[in-house]
Amino acid sequence: MEITFLGTSSGVPTRSRNVSSLAVRLPQKGEVWLFDCGEGTQHQLLRSELKISQITRIFITHLHGDHIFGLIGLLASCGLAGNAQDVEIYGPAPLKDYIRACTKYSYTNLAFKITVHHVSPGIVYEDEEFLVSCDALKHRVPAFGYRIVEKDRAGKFNVDKAIAMGIPPGPIYANLKRGELVTLSDGRKIYGKELCGKPEIGRKIVYCTDTIYCDSAVELAKDADVLIHEATFAHQEADLAFQRLHSTSTMAAQTALAAQVKLLIMTHFSPRYAPGNPLEIKDLLSEARSIFPNTKLAYDFFTYEVPRNRDSKEENRKPEVVSKKK
């Protein structure tokens, strides 16, 4: 799982930072998942090492322009470039109406199928390898944070041990590699996990923007390997943060601390913290690290590969629980 920041400014682009967009590359699937798509995202993709043709899913946090103005342009360019791969899009209502209106009044005919899913707190996507859930954040318009969970995988399969146990090679090995319970032709029941090494613990990435500090963000980020959280304002401008329902650097750090994440990466910085101003982005980093030391600052095209977890102490791990508001 590899994270690439395509835009790290809030509200408007600057000379060095575009508006919000984040890509998660999944090499094992040959796919790229996009989170938000601010104006100019397609230009940022062209300047990166990511392949637009691999984008299969786009997750939108909310419908403010700095998070969606690049969406139709990107989709249209994909069609003109002959990228016929279908795309699934997720986000709050009325995202479907927005896309329909943009394509209608710009006379855009997409050469591939898009499917729009309006999200609500809970699971929004799941396959054999990944689970994506969301929860409502606290902003001026309906906004959602997303949690991407890579499911645990069984450890390396011990072929020699299987042969020594008299288990003949064949399709049954695939079931054993997944750690499943298998009944052999002679009636023996074999637990696949007994033939596998230490399990490979799935990684977790959480993306929270735009929001002020809220309990749902903490719950969503619980035990994450990486929390990507907005930090629009410096701590001394907390009044502005409360007025506009955005986070300060210290709010992002408090969320990371409360959720016990491994790493916090801050993004979505106000242009007011440009170099040479009384407060700079490096000051926001110092503020956050005073609360949560393992904090990094995102910048455009910053790429971070989430390291694999190799902890076999499953008895100490709680099962994955997806928050669902009623």
Q: What is the pLDDT of residues 11-55, one digit of tens each?
A: 999 999 999 999 999 998 999 999 999 999 999 999 999 999 899
Tell me the angle at which helices 249-259 and 281-289 cross, rounded to the nearest 10 degrees: 30
Q: What is the pLDDT of residue 314?
A: 35
Structure tokens at 198: 């230490």
Contacts of 8 (CB under 8 A, 6+ apart): 17, 18, 20, 267, 268, 269, 298, 299, 300, 302
Minimal CA–CA distance to 262: which of 219, 203, 208?
A: 203
C-alpha 174/C-alpha 195 separation (Å) is 12
Total structural domains in the chain?
A: 2
Residue 140 and residue 203 in one domain: yes
Per-residue pLDDT band at 301 (split at 50, 70, 90): very high
pLDDT: is 188 or 71 the higher one? 71
Candidates 66, 135, 210, 300; catalytic one: 66
CATH at 69: 3.60.15.10
The 10s digit of each residue's pLDDT in 52-83 is 989 999 999 999 999 999 999 999 988 776 66
Q: Has 66 been annotated as catalytic?
A: yes
In a domain, 306, yes or no: yes
325 assigned to some structural domain: no
312 vs 78: which has the higher pLDDT: 78
pTM for the complete prediction? 0.86
Question: Is 293 contained in some domain?
Answer: yes
173 and 229 within one domain:
no
Residues 120, 45 within the same domain:
yes
Average model confidence (pLDDT) across the chain: 90
Alpha helices in 169-280 (DSSP H): 172-177, 215-221, 238-244, 249-259
Q: Are residues 191 and 204 both part of a single domain? A: no
Co-location of 182 and 220 in the same domain: no
Name the domain boundary from 195, 219, 248.
Answer: 195
Instruction: Give the model's confidence band at 321: pLDDT under 50 very low, under 70 low, under 90 confident, else very high.
Output: very low
Radius of gyration of the chain from its Cα atoms, rounded to whole angstroms: 22
Domain that includes residue 141, residue range:
2-153+199-312
Q: Provide the pLDDT confidence category of residue 316 given band limits of 50, 70 and 90.
A: very low
Collect all residues with Cβ–Cβ distance below 8 Å to 249 and sequence separation of at least 6.
Answer: 231, 233, 234, 235, 266, 284, 285, 287, 288
Please check whether residue 74 lies inside any domain of the structure: yes
Please check whether residues 189 and 225 belong to one and the same domain. no
- Shared domain for 8 and 44, answered yes or no, is yes
Examine residue 9 and state whether it is found in any structural domain, yes or no. yes
Q: Are residues 203 and 191 in the same domain?
A: no
User: Do 6 and 139 have their domain in common?
Assistant: yes
Record the tokens describing residue 199, joined without a space. Answer: 């399990």
Are 249 and 266 within one domain?
yes
Contacts of 162 (CB under 8 A, 6+ apart): 169, 173, 176, 195
Looking at the structure, tell me whether residues 184 and 273 fall in a common domain. no
